[in-house]
Amino acid sequence: MNNKTITPFVATHPGEMIRDELKARSMTQKQLSVATGIKQSVLSETINGKRAISMSVANALEQALAIPAEIWLNMQTHYNLDTSLITERDNQQETIAVTLPARDRKLLQELARKFGWACVF
């Protein structure tokens, strides 16, 4: 990850956009399922972020909602990238070298114990 990459705090799944579209159109998941031919269970899992947007789902959404399949697929790609960056960020460990006077080492040992830091003396 380079320093110019902005990592969001949370990733936004494209299913949230489907949910917003349904609300804006006063449409139910069942109605969208009928309009797209997507199984209700698949649609529900997608809306709830448990399933990725596939090419076939993106094409069906394009036909039913007039939102290009490319947008759905780009949103899924960005979600996957953001999820990866968030995982990478959260798994990073930072090492900081600190030189302390001997009298402050007891304080550092206490802070290390309290916060779970690894210290080498």
Q: What's the pLDDT tens digit per position in 82-94?
A: 999 988 888 876 6
In the predicted structure, residue 73 carries a pLDDT above the cut 80: yes
For residues 19 and 60, give the distance between their C-alpha atoms in angstroms, rounded to a whole number.
15
Contact 82, 1 (CB under 8 A): no
In the predicted structure, residue 79 carries a pLDDT above the cut 80: yes
Instruction: Residue 55: name the closest of 35, 77, 33, 39 by CA.
Output: 77
Question: In the chain, what are the domains?
Answer: 15-91 (1.10.260.40)
Percent helix, percent strand, percent coil in the chain, to nearest 5: 60, 0, 40
For residues 21 and 10, give the distance between their C-alpha atoms in angstroms, rounded to a whole number.
21
